């Protein structure tokens, strides 16, 4: 399957129904695979962060997590079938993993991933999942101990949620040390699953304009990302469209 190119980043044009099966195929393959996503915020950062762009292009699977990316790709003459966000697919993953695969979820403030894991276990009691927060030192003995805890748990999938570009940098520097078949960057999913952050508005708003839903939930922190970031993304898409002669 040919990847869709937006700002020099390749995106796999898959549907949500294909996401979990493809990841589980990677688990079964036994090779070291890395999975991640792009949305408007991530793609904007790649325009000034070449290391992030390289990381995304080296992913085994890179999927779309934002309707803005779908629309931007369409304006460039490309097609991405749908977006898939962690707050939705995490339940699919838990359902498929229950009784079959072990998970390890690291990221967020202390307690967030634990609360998210407990929410998953309420619906899937046999789910094997261990957690850790994302504020460990980035070097030295404590960092090594963090990696050792992950490997001692023998997970099939390690979920890393630290926000972009922190999570991508963390994975890039440690992927070779993590024994799990799949390491998956998934952003702030734990905040939503734990209930610490709510998805504001009706379902149609969340499904079609989740950026606005998130802005309504936390305007003071996110107004620049969405109001300025979205405008910048549109300007870059227009420039890319002109460059391509689309």
- Smallest Cα–Cα separation from 157: which of 87, 95, 105, 91? 105
Lookup: tokens for 122: 């309420």
**31 is written with which tokens?**
């090779």
Residue 24 has pLDDT above 80, yes or no: yes
Mean of the pLDDT values across residues 234-244? 92
Contact 124, 177 (CB under 8 A): no
Tens-digit pLDDT profile for residues 35-94: 999 999 999 999 999 999 999 999 999 999 999 999 999 999 999 999 999 999 999 999
135: its two tokens: 């504020």
pLDDT at 202: 60
Tokens of 64: 């779309």
pLDDT at residue 197 in the model: 82
What is the C-alpha to C-alpha distance for residues 190 and 195, in angstroms, rounded to an integer? 8
- 176-222 confidence digits (pLDDT tens): 999 999 999 999 999 999 998 876 656 655 566 665 566 666 777 76
Tell whether the model's pLDDT for residue 237 goes beyond 80: yes
Are 120 and 90 in contact by the 8 Å Cβ rule? The answer is yes
Give residue-wise pLDDT tens across range 118-136: 999 999 999 999 999 999 9
All residues at 6 or more sequence positions from 64 whose CB lies less than 8 Å from its CB, including other chains = 11, 13, 37, 38, 39, 70, 80, 82, 83, 84
Residue 102: per-residue pLDDT = 98
β-pairing verdict for 182-185 and 9-11? unpaired
Question: What pLDDT is recorded for position 213?
Answer: 62
Average pLDDT over residues 10-32: 97
Predicted TM-score (pTM) above 0.75: yes
């Amino acid at each position: 399957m040919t990847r869709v190119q937006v700002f020099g980043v390749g995106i796999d044009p898959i549907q949500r129904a294909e996401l979990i099966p493809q990841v589980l195929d990677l688990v079964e393959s036994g090779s070291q695979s890395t999975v991640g996503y792009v949305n408007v915020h991530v793609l904007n950062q790649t325009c000034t962060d070449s290391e992030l762009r390289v990381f995304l292009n080296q992913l085994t699977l890179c999927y779309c997590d934002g309707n803005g990316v779908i629309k931007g790709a369409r304006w460039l003459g490309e097609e991405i079938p749908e977006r898939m966000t962690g707050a939705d697919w995490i339940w699919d993953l838990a359902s498929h993993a229950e009784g079959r695969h072990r998970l390890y979820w690291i990221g967020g403030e202390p307690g967030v991933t634990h609360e998210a894991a407990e929410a998953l276990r309420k619906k899937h009691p046999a789910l094997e999942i261990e957690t850790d927060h994302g504020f460990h030192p980035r070097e030295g003995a404590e960092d090594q101990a963090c990696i050792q805890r992950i490997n001692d748990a023998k997970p099939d999938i390690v979920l890393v949620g630290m926000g972009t570009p922190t999570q991508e940098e963390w994975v890039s520097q440690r992927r070779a040390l993590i024994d799990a078949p799949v390491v998956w960057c998934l952003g702030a999913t734990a905040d939503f699953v734990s209930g610490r952050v709510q998805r504001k508005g009706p379902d149609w708003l969340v499904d079609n304009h989740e950026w606005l839903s998130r802005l309504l939930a936390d305007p003071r922190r996110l107004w620049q990302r969405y109001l300025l970031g979205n405008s910048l993304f549109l300007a870059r898409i227009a420039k890319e469209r002109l460059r391509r002669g689309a």
